[in-house]
Amino acid sequence: MSGFPWGDFGINLAASAGAALAVMLITFAIALGKGVHRIVDVAWGLGFTAVAALSFALSDGEGHDGRRLIVTALTAVWGLRLAGHIALRGRGHGEDPRYARMLAKASGNPHLYALRMVYLLQGALVWLVSLPVQAAQYLPGPMNTLAALGVTAWLTGFFFETVGDAQLARFKDDPEARDAHGFRIMDRGLWRFTRHPNYFGDFLVWWGLFLLACGDWAVAASVLVSPVVMSLLLTKGSGKRLLERQLADRPGYAEYAARTSGFFPMPPRPHEDVERR
């Protein structure tokens, strides 16, 4: 496909960087007022929504209207759902232990350290990961088979993420989910097939959005870094690896990990196979 408006896309990139920065700076100001930095996690989904909405406005008259609308809607639904979920989950709680430990080790002003290492870093990641969302809105041609696959991947991922989060929330609301050591291991519903249905869902959502930007191979190549970075964050960075490190010593977790896939959904391993491991 030819005719991709690289110049206008470049302007969009600059504007979206400003939008992501604005969301994080506003969140930082609110966090200072409330005295907790955990609300930056709410801003993660809001930042993507802001970038998608801005790109939709700036790409008017440039890209295919159907693709522009779909990409914006899918990103906004994902981002707003995630922001709302995290806000409800953290309501009434104090500082997130991750941020408390980070700030306790910070040299100099801990709030300025949080600004640099949390807010500005997350703003940069929002901008980087959202590159396919921005680029897809400038593609002039009609949607193709890859775009249809992208929507299917997004729908599947959104199902895993949303249902997985809802199942975990219901589990934590169950008084029988607690024992003397805290919460028992969640191994019901989607959590029987993968230890991280929500992270797997995120993975599919962002590869799906990338496929919506694959109407032009040069464009696709230029934004491929985005789903790769998101995949690494989910599996090697602040997602799966960090959570499993926190759960490693919880009673029953080793047995759960032995029988349950670490990321991609798979049938639970039979008991005899677990015993041989």
Q: How confident is the model at residue 249 (pLDDT cuts 50, 70, 90)?
A: confident
Element (H, E) at 224: none
Is the separation of the CB atoms in 219 and 213 below 8 Å? yes
Domain ranges of the chain: 6-276
Q: What pTM was estimated for this model as a whole?
A: 0.94
Q: How confident is the model at residue 3 (pLDDT cuts 50, 70, 90)?
A: confident
Overall average pLDDT of the 97-106 stretch? 88
Q: How confident is the model at residue 81 (pLDDT cuts 50, 70, 90)?
A: very high
Overall average pLDDT of the 193-218 stretch? 97
- SS3 assignment, position 178: strand
Residue 247 has pLDDT above 60, yes or no: yes
Dist. CA 68–CA 212, nearest whole Å: 10
Interval 13-27: pLDDT, tens: 999 999 999 999 999
Is the separation of the CB atoms in 235 and 161 below 8 Å? no
**Higher per-residue pLDDT: 250 or 72:** 72
Overall average pLDDT of the 44-57 stretch? 98
Residue 270's pLDDT is 86
**Sign of the Cα pseudo-torsion (107, 108, 111, 112, in order):** negative
Q: Angle 95-177-82 (CA atoms, 0-180°, nearest 5)?
A: 45
Dist. CA 25–CA 22, nearest whole Å: 5
Dist. CA 265–CA 260, nearest whole Å: 9
Residue 130's pLDDT is 98
Is the separation of the CB atoms in 239 and 233 below 8 Å? yes
Overall average pLDDT of the 155-177 stretch? 93
Residue 274 has pLDDT above 80, yes or no: no
Question: What does the mean pLDDT of the chain come to?
Answer: 92
Overall average pLDDT of the 178-199 stretch? 86
The fraction of the chain above a pLDDT of 70, given in percent, is 95
Residue 144's pLDDT is 93
Interval 122-150: pLDDT, tens: 999 999 999 999 999 999 988 999 999 99
